[in-house]
Amino acid sequence: MNEAVASRARPRTALWVAIAIGVAIALLVTVLATRDPASSRLVRSPLVGRTAPDMDAPTINDAGRFSLSDQRGKWLLVNFFATWCVPCQQEHDDLVRFAAAHTGAGDAAVVSVVFSDETSDVRKFFARRGGDWPVVADENGTYATAWGVARVPESYLVAPSGLVVGKITGGVKFAFLQAQLARFEAGR
Partner 1 sequence: MNVNASLGTAAVAIGFAASAVGVVTLGVGLRRRQEKLLRLGRTYALVALVGVVASFVVMERALLGHDFSLEYVAEHGNRAVPTMYTFASLWGALEGSIILWTLILCAYTVAVTVRFRERVVDPLVAWATLTMLAVSTFFFALMLGPANPFQAVAGRIPLDGPGPNPLLQDHPLMAIHPPFLYLGYVGFTVPFAFCIAALVTGRVGEGWLATTRRWTLLSWGFLTVGIVLGAWWSYEVLGWGGFWAWDPVENASFLPWLTGTAYIHSVMVQERRGMLRVWNLSLLLATFSLTILGTFLTRSGVLDSVHSFTQSAIGAWLLSFFGLVVGVSLGLIAWRGDRLRSPGRVDSPVSREGAFLANNVLFAAFAFVVLLGTVFPLIYEALKGDPVTVGRPYFDRMTMPIGLALLFLMAVAPVLPWRKASHEVLRHRLLWPAWAGAAGLVLAVVVGARGLAPLVAFGLGGFAAGSACRQLVLAARAARRSGMSPFGAVVGRANGGMIVHLGVIIVAVAFTSATAFSHGDEVRLREGETATVAGHTVTYLGTEREETARKTTVKARLRLDGGQVFAPALNRYPNATQTIGTPSVDVGLRRDVYLTFVEAPKQPGGSVVIGVLVEPLVSWLWIGGLIMAIGTLLALVPGRRRLPTAPVSEQPVTGQVPDDELVTA
- Which residues 44-73 are close enough to bind partner 1 by CB under 8 A? 44
**127 in contact with partner 1 (CB under 8 A):** no
* Binding status of residue 21 toward partner 1 by CB under 8 A: yes
* Out of 1, 4, 5, 7, the residue judged to bind partner 1 by CB under 8 A: 7
Does residue 74 bind partner 1 (CB under 8 A)? Answer: no
Which is nearer to partner 1, 13 or 140 (by Cβ)? 13
Contact string (CB under 8 A) for partner 1, positions 159-188, x = contact: ----------xx------------------
User: What one-character-per-residue DSSP string does the chain give?
Assistant: -HHHHHHHHS--HHHHHHHHHHHHHHHHHHHHHHPPPSSSEEE--TTTTSBPPP-EEEBSSS--EEEGGGGTTSEEEEEEE-TT-HHHHHHHHHHHHHHHHHHTTTSEEEEEEE-S--HHHHHHHHHHH---S-EE--TTSHHHHHHT--SSSEEEEE-TTSBEEEEEES---HHHHHHHHHHHHHH-
Choose the binding region for partner 1 from 22-30, 105-113, 138-146, 177-185 (rule: CB under 8 A).
Answer: 22-30
Does 25 help bind partner 1 (rule: CB under 8 A)?
yes
Q: Which residues bind partner 1 (CB under 8 A)?
A: 6-7, 10-15, 17-19, 21-22, 25-26, 28-29, 31-35, 37-39, 41, 43-44, 83-85, 89-90, 121, 125, 169-170
